């Protein structure tokens, strides 16, 4: 992708993570956040070479591409001040492209919808992208590939599942980590050691999976000896309905994404 002038409309934690991930890609970065913000926010932006535009309209005027990074409930108000004559990438959870177009003065604007996740902070985001325009889709894929894995989503309805699985997924992983670490503490392992053991165990297991073409069930079988400790632990997880609870969590998050889109 050739060098572009990219604006962030809204500059919260996710926007900052994306900005850090693409700061060294040769693009000119700018932002405007309607919230007053803190001196620290402005300082961090300055360190990344990102200047603050005076208004959202001036941000749009000076950029080739705008990333819409505000909260879903703030989207309509923020877009009402724009002209709608640029390309737009929205990361607002649950908000359909049609909703963005309705809020822009130009109903023919090119809009992509992206759901990144917390991994963007360390260049390991998982970003699902839906865009009906092939050129903008290609641009978005290249841009978000700079902060991790980016993949096209064929139907916009699937973005709710992407939001629930990878967008919300880090929180589920941290909860599992917390639970494993606390279990180790209960068994007498010092807290700092227990959480690190749990984290490194989870990390190694995931790397083994990603480097193979085997189903997770096959890896579980490899760890589970007949009559051993692992199978007892797995039986306890089944008794407590852990798998069902995780599936339900993703379903609930997806439904909340749909609700945000309808509100």
What is the tens place of the pLDDT at every residue in 99-119? Answer: 999 999 888 899 999 999 999
Q: Using CA atoms, how far apart are residues 100 and 107, in angstroms rounded to an integer?
A: 9
Q: Is residue 162 part of a domain?
A: no
* Enclosing domain of residue 115: 5-155
E strand spans, the chain: 5-9, 28-32, 51-52, 65-68, 87-90, 110-115, 125-130, 148-152
Q: Is residue 20 part of a domain?
A: yes
Is 209 within the bounds of a domain? yes
Question: By mean pLDDT, which of 42-46, 67-71, 91-95, 181-185 is the weakest?
Answer: 42-46
Q: Does 110 map to a domain?
A: yes
Same domain, 139 and 82: yes
> How far is Cα 160 from Cα 95, in angstroms, rounded to an integer?
9
Residue 209 to residue 213: CA distance in whole angstroms = 7
3-state helix, strand, coil in the chain (%, to 5): 55, 15, 30
Pair (106, 219) in one structural domain? no
Q: Which of 107, 129, 155 is the last residue of a domain?
A: 155
Q: Running DSSP on this structure, what letter comes out for residue 163?
A: I
Residue 62 in this model has a pLDDT that exceeds 90: yes
What's the structural domain count of the chain? 2
Backbone angles phi, psi at 151, to 5 degrees: -140, 145
What does pTM read for this prediction? 0.89
For the segment 200-257, what is each residue's pLDDT rounded down to a tens digit?
Answer: 999 999 999 999 999 999 999 999 999 999 999 999 999 999 999 999 999 999 999 9
Q: Are residues 24 and 137 in the same domain?
A: yes
| pLDDT of residue 159 exceeding 70 | yes
Whether residues 93 and 218 fall in one domain: no
Q: Is position 228 within any domain?
A: yes
Indicate if 125 and 33 belong to the same structural domain.
Answer: yes
Using the predicted structure, report yes or no on whether residue 40 has a pLDDT greater than 80: no
15 and 94 both lie in a single domain = yes
Task: Single out the residue of 213, 146, 206, 148 nearest to residue 173, CA to CA.
Answer: 206
Same domain, 196 and 110: no
Domain end point (choices 155, 185, 220): 155
Residues 77, 13 share a domain: yes
Give yes or no for residue 194 having a pLDDT over 80: yes
In a domain, 24, yes or no: yes
Residues of the chain above pLDDT 90, percent: 73
- Residue range 127-154: average pLDDT? 95
Residue after which a domain boundary falls, among 97, 128, 155: 155
Closest CA to 166 of 151, 178, 181: 151
Give me the chain's average pLDDT, please.
Answer: 92
Residues 228, 198 share a domain: yes
Cα angle 229, 177, 189 (rounded to 5 degrees) comes to: 60
In a domain, 89, yes or no: yes
What is the C-alpha to C-alpha distance for residues 69 and 64, in angstroms, rounded to an integer? 16
Query: Residue range 57-82: average pLDDT?
Result: 91
What is the domain-level CATH number for residue 220?
Answer: 1.10.3730.10
Structural contact between residues 55 and 81, judged by C-beta atoms closer than 8 angstroms: yes
Q: What is the CATH number of the domain that holds 72?
A: 3.40.50.720
Residue 160 within a domain: no
Q: Are residues 131 and 211 in the same domain?
A: no
Position 193 scores a pLDDT of 98
Token pair, residue 57, equals 């309209």
37 has a pLDDT exceeding 70: no
> Which residue's entry shows tokens 């177009």?
101
Residues 197 and 104 in one domain: no
More confident residue, 80 or 162: 162
Same domain, 54 and 79: yes
Residue 8 near residue 29, CB atoms below 8 Å: yes
Q: How do 110-115 and 148-152 pair as beta strands?
A: unpaired
Measured CA to CA, the distance from residue 219 to residue 198 in angstroms comes to 17
Strands lying side by side in the sheet with 125-130 = 51-52, 28-32, 5-9, 65-68, 87-90, 110-115, 125-130, 148-152
């Amino acid at each position: 992708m050739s060098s572009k002038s990219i604006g962030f409309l809204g500059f919260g934690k996710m926007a900052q993570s994306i900005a850090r991930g693409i700061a060294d890609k040769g693009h000119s970065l700018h932002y405007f956040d309607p919230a007053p913000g803190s001196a620290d926010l402005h300082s961090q932006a300055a360190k990344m070479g990102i200047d603050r535009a005076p208004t959202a309209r001036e941000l749009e005027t000076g950029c080739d591409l705008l990333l819409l990074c505000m909260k879903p409930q703030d989207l309509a108000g923020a877009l009402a001040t724009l002209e709608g004559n640029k390309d737009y990438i929205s990361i607002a959870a649950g908000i359909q492209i049609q909703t963005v177009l309705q809020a822009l003065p130009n109903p023919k604007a090119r809009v992509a919808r992206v759901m990144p996740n917390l991994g963007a902070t360390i260049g390991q985001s998982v970003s699902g992208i839906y865009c009906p325009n092939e050129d903008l889709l290609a641009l978005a894929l290249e841009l978000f590939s700079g902060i991790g894995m980016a993949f096209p989503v064929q139907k916009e309805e699937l973005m709710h599942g992407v939001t629930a699985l990878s967008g919300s997924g880090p929180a589920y992983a941290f909860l599992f980590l917390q639970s494993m670490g606390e279990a180790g503490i209960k068994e007498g392992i010092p807290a700092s050691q227990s959480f690190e053991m749990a984290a490194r165990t989870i990390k190694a297991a995931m790397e083994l999976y990603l480097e193979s073409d085997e189903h997770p069930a096959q890896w579980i079988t490899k760890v589970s000896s007949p009559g051993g400790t692992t199978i007892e632990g797995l039986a306890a997880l089944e008794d407590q309905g852990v798998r069902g609870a995780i599936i339900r969590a993703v379903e609930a998050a997806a439904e909340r994404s749909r609700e945000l889109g309808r509100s």
